[in-house]
Chain A
C-alpha cells in the first residue's frame, strides 16, 4: 500500500514550492515530514491529497497512477492545524459524515462512531456542537472523523500545533496507536524534532522544498547524511565549527585539536564539524575528550536542565546539560567534546564517514 512520488514538483510563477522529489513512503507506520515553516510541508500534503495539481511528476498509490485523480476519488483523510469541523453538525454527525457519504446503514454508523469516540475519549461529547468544545476536544473530533473514514492515506498537517503543551503530549502518545492499527499510510508534518522522535516510524527532512533525507527516525537522528538534515533535526540548534583535517588529526581554530587516526580515508582540507548541544559536556569522563573554552552569554534554567549559551572562538554554541548551572554572564567555562559524538561534513554539506 505504498505511496510513491516520481519526480514530483510544484512551481508557481518562478517560485519553487517543491523541488523534484522521488520518494516511496512506507505503509502501516508514521511517516513524519519534518521541516521549518514555509519549507513546503503543507504544499506537499496538499499534493498528496489531490487538492493541488503538481507542475510535473506523478503520484502513485498502490501501483495506480493517481496524479490526475481528483481529491474526491482518492481515499484520503486529512486533519488540519486549525481544528476543522462542520460547525452546524453535532460531534456525532461530524464523525459520521464520511460514512453518510458512503451511504452506510444507520446501525453500522452508530456502532462505528461510538467505537471511534471511545478510542478518542470523546464519548460524553457526542451531542455537542464544535463551538461548545475546547481546542483539544475539537481536534479529537477531527481526528475521529479521519479515523472513521478508514482511508488508506491519512494526512496530518501539524495537527497538534495549536494545542496546549500538555494536551499535545497526551495526544501525541495516542496518535500512533490509533492510526497505525488500520494499516493506512500515515503522513504527519511537524516543525519540532522532538515530536518526530516521539512518534517513531520513518522521517523525511524537508528544507526549502527539497527532501534531504528519508530514513527510520532514529537513524536519521543519529546518522544524518547532510548538514542540512542534521540542522533540521536538531532542537536546540546544531552546534557547528569549521575545522581543518590533516595527517595529524582534526584542528579547530585556536589550536584545539583531536589527535586521531580516524578519517584517514578522506582528503585533507576544510570541513564542518557538527555536534548536538547535549554532547557538549561540562565535565569529562574520557581522556581523549577535546577541551574547549568559552564565554557565557546567558544561561537558561528549566526545572532540571540548563541551556548555556556561549561564545567560543567566534562560534555561538549551546550546552544542554542536566542539572542547574547558574553561570554569570561573561564567565569563562570549560567544555568537553568527544569526537565520537561529532558529525563531519564536507564543504558541500555532505556527511563524511570514518572507515
Chain B
C-alpha cells in the first residue's frame, strides 16, 4: 500500500514531438492516497491506458516523475515497483492449475510453502475459487480467468498499487454485475490503493471514491462521483457523466443571470460577467429539469421509456434537450412547460464552469 504521486507527467509516443497534439498525455498532476479507490474515466484515446502503463512502469514518460511514498520510481521496471495489474482480457498460465497460478508470484519471491498455501487459500475464498483450485486454468470461463488474474495480485502483501485496465470488457453483463460488486468488497477487505481504468461511467462511479475524468490527454476534473455529477468543471464532464448527459443550451448573461431564448433562468446566485468569452452555455442535467406549469414552453420531440424512468426529448427555438421523468409522473400530452432547478443549473464559458459570483 502506498501513496502514489504523479508530477508533471507528459508523454508522447513520437520521440521528437513538438506540438501539443502529438502528446498523448499533457501535464498530469495527481495524488492518490494510500488505500484509496480511484478511477480514470474517459473515452477511447483519451490517454487513460497510457497513464496506467506509466504508473505500472511498462512505459517511461517523456517528462515527469512517478513517486511511490515519496520514492522516485520513474526509472524502475514493473517488477521493481511491486505493483499488480489486471488487463482487459484474462492473463493466466494455461498449463498450470488455478492453485499454481495463484502461487506463482509467491513462489518467485521465495515464500515458504506453508505460507503460500495459507495465502492462496484465503484469496481463493475471497474470490469463490476454492472449488476450482485443482483444475487447469485453461478450463475456466472468462470471468473465472479474470478472477485468477485478480487473485495473483491479491496474494501478494507487498503491492503498492493495484491497477485495473478495463477488466470487465470480456465479461458477460450478468456476471459483470457480480464481479463489480466483488471488486468493491475486496477493496474494503484488502485496503490496497486501487486504480480502475474504464470508459464505462457506472463502473467508474460505483467503484471509486474519487474519479479523474480524462479528455484528450488531460485530467479535466478529479472529484467524488457526487461532485462530478452535481458540479461538472467542464462541459465534457457534464456530457460524459450521466445517461443521458447534461443538457447544454446557449445563453446570454443579463444582470448575472442566464437568459435562454428570452427566458430568464433562475440560478442559486448571480455570476459576474466573464472577461472575454466566445461561447456561453447553461448546463443542467435532465434529472434537474422539472415539468412545471410556471416554466417556459417546449415541444415534445420523442419519449423513451426505460422502465423505471422516461427520457423526454423536448425542443424550444430549435434547441433540443432531455427531461428525466420518473416512472410515476405523467407526461402532459400537450402544452408542456419546464423549469430548471436553480441549485443545479450552471454557467459554462468556453466549456469551463463559470461560477464566480458578483462582487457586489
Contacts and interface: CB of A to CB of B under 8 A. Distances in A.
Asked whether the complex places CB atoms of A and B closer than 8 A, the reply is yes
Interface of A: 36-37, 134-135, 164-167, 169, 191-192, 194, 197-198, 200, 218, 221-222, 235-237, 276, 278, 297-298, 300-304, 307, 309, 320, 322, 324, 329
Contacts, number: 84
7 contacts: A36-B174, A166-B240, A166-B245, A194-B306, A298-B188, A302-B202, A304-B242
Contacts of B202: 302
A306 B132 CA distance: 33
B225 A235 contact: no
A135 B45 CA distance: 11
B214 to A, nearest CB: 13
Contacts of A237: 174, 177
B205 A297 contact: no
Contacts of A324: 226
A28 to B, nearest CB: 18
B287 A304 contact: yes
A197 B228 CA distance: 27
A218 B305 contact: yes
Contact of B181 (A191, A194, A309): A309
A165 B205 contact: no
Contact of A303 (B185, B207, B226): B226
Given A197-B304, A303-B229, 13 more contacts: A37-B172, A135-B44, A164-B43, A166-B240, A197-B305, A276-B307, A298-B188, A300-B206, A302-B205, A302-B206, A303-B201, A303-B205, A303-B230
B314 to A, nearest CB: 15
Interface in B180-236: 180-181, 184-185, 188, 199-202, 205-207, 225-226, 228-230
A164 B326 CA distance: 26
Given A218-B305, A303-B242, A298 B184 contact: yes
Contact of B173 (A135, A235, A302): A235
B282 interface: no
A184 B172 CA distance: 30
B241 interface: yes
B261 interface: no
A300 B180 contact: yes
A191 B43 CA distance: 22
Interface residues of B, number: 39
Contacts of B177: 235-237
A192 B173 contact: yes
A198 B310 CA distance: 10
Contacts of A36: 172-174
Nearest to A329: B188
Contacts of B240: 166
Nearest to A162: B169
Contacts of A322: 326
B177 to A, nearest CB: 6
B188 A301 contact: no
B69 to A, nearest CB: 28
Contacts of B244: 169
Given A36-B174, A303-B225, A303-B242, A164 B199 contact: yes
A301 B206 contact: yes
Residue with the greatest number of chain B CB neighbours at <10 A, chosen from A37, A200, A320: A37
B185 A298 contact: yes
A236 B177 CA distance: 8
Contact of B205 (A192, A200, A301): A301
B316 interface: no
> Can you list the 8 inter-chain pairs with the closest CB atoms, starting with the nearest?
A303-B229, A300-B206, A302-B205, A278-B308, A37-B172, A164-B199, A191-B173, A197-B306
A191 B205 contact: no
B243 interface: yes
A320 B307 CA distance: 13
B247 to A, nearest CB: 14
A134 B304 CA distance: 28
Given A36-B172, A301-B225, A307 B43 contact: no
A198 B307 CA distance: 9
Interface in B94-146: none
